[in-house]
Amino acid sequence: MSRHRSLLTLLALTVVMLPGPAAVAALPAMVEDRPLPSLAPMLERVTPAVVNISSVSVVDEAQHPLLSDPFFRRFFDLPRLNRQRRSQSLGSGVIVDAERGYVLTNHHVVDKADEVRVTLADGRVLEAEVLGVDPETDVAVLKIPAEDLHAVRTADSDHLRVGDFVVAIGNPFGLNQTVTSGIVSALGRSGLGIEGYENFIQTDASINPGNSGGPLVNLRGELVGINTAILAPGGGNVGIGFAIPVNMVNSIMSQIVEFGGVRRGVFGVGLQELTPQLAEALDVSIRDGAVVAEVRDDSAADRAGVEVGDIVVELNDKPVLSAAGLRIQLALLRIGDEVRLSVLRGGRERQLRARIADPFEGYVDGATISRFFRGALLGEVVDDSPFGKLEAVAVARVAQDSNAWRIGLRGDDVLIAVNDERVEDLDDLARVTNDNREVWQLKLRRGSRVVTMVAR
């Protein structure tokens, strides 16, 4: 018996067990000349902005190893087939700009999708363009034709409080326009290991598979978050759902719209939480803040005068409540943004200023080195490799479908050698690739592994 059939059977049994119509008292439409409270008027305004998202991926099917053997295929005169299958996933989204057709959803809803379709509340099905994604926060921005669309208004999620009523809207299990309600159970949830940067709103409004990317709204119908995950030890909803705060989403979205992705800068500090034990050891009475555990040489923090042991209590006039919160605040700043810090040092509060640095300053387009590296951003690093600290060439990022991508290079690779010649800097790389060879042997570090590949 299928899961859906089991569910329907359970509902049927529930209906049978209900008392007959004579035993059910009709709810009054008014109580003391006042209408009963209802979310319906708010939902009538919001639900036209909620969409269903269907993403289709085409993947190669695994086949028996014998079918890959050329001799076996020739012997039995088998045609050469490249079998593929289509994989489909469903999620939700919300229109936030009706004039430009911008739709917010989760990165994991459209990840690796070859086709993305958006179904509006009025039944229209539209092809969507993925403007950009940010896997670190699980945010994606889509664009659909801007014709007769409805958008949701946004709130200031920094003003949310634990106990505020919220409503989750989406398409769980493919059930369109499903609404659940609850409260804000907690704020600033992190350390869950779901995303790279976590600052979740926790809610007990039911969120299920298919709700991903849908809106979490307040009782005024304003967007406060994007539903993204649930804690489900038994596989079902247990009243612990998580949404990305809309202020965080808006910051990511503005960069995606402008650049097609997120360009994160670096400040250059390592942080740790200010625990009661650490506060006692540092002889401070405060309980909120972030302790500086490391300052990288020649970083923006170093140039600003930040020191190990400083306790950061404010960033750009906003209080710092924890190390996790400060990491999020810094991650949302753009390259070149000013940083104003209030730090406690030796019992005195100090004001420091800096600017967020470009992590790829000094990197060059790989096309200036060789046609093989066209589409890659390359820079010089001192790499902490399995062989010890080595001077090498880092691959910062690689444009998909570029020549560098086709030969197999990926972001965060570190080039160690070309044709068995050590590559310590960009000049070395230009020298060893400065001839008319058609084949190159590249040795590089990828994660914890050393990989050798052939580039043609």
Catalytic residues: 108, 138, 212
Residue 62 to residues 68, 83, 220, 405: CA-CA distances in angstroms?
10, 8, 50, 23
Q: Check: CB of residue 92 under 8 Å from CB of residue 50.
A: yes
Nearest CA to 216 among 190, 259, 194, 247?
A: 247
> 92, 53 in Cβ contact below 8 A?
yes
**Comparing C-alpha atoms, which of 380, 384, 383 is closest to residue 393?**
380
Dihedral in degrees, nearest 10, Cα atoms 383, 387, 390, 394: -40
What are the structure tokens assigned to 109, written together?
A: 């809803």
Q: Are 203 and 189 in contact (CB under 8 A)?
A: no
Three-class DSSP labels, the chain: CCHHHHHHHHHHHHHHHCCCHHHCCCCCCEECCEECCCCHHHHHHHHHHEEEEEEEEEEECCCCHHHHCHHHHHHCCCCCCCCEEEEEEEEEEEEEECCCCEEEECHHHHCCCCEEEEECCCCCEEECEEEEEECCCCEEEEECCCCCCCCCEECCHHHCCCCCEEEEEECHHHCCCEEEEEEEEEEEECCCCCCCCCCEEEECCCCCCCCCCCEEEECCCEEEEEEEEECCCCCCCCCCEEEEEHHHHHHHHHHHHHHCCCCECECCEEEEECCHHHHHHCCCCCCCCEEEEEECCCCHHHHHCCCCCCEEEEECCEECCCHHHHHHHHHCCECCCEEEEEEEECCEEEEEEEECECCCCCCEEHHHCCHHHCCEEEEEEEEEECCEEEEEEEEEEECCCCHHHHCCCCCCCEEEEECCEECCCHHHHHHHCCCCCCCEEEEEEECCEEEEEEEC
What distance in Å separates the CA atoms of residue 355 and residue 31, rounded to the nearest whole number?
59
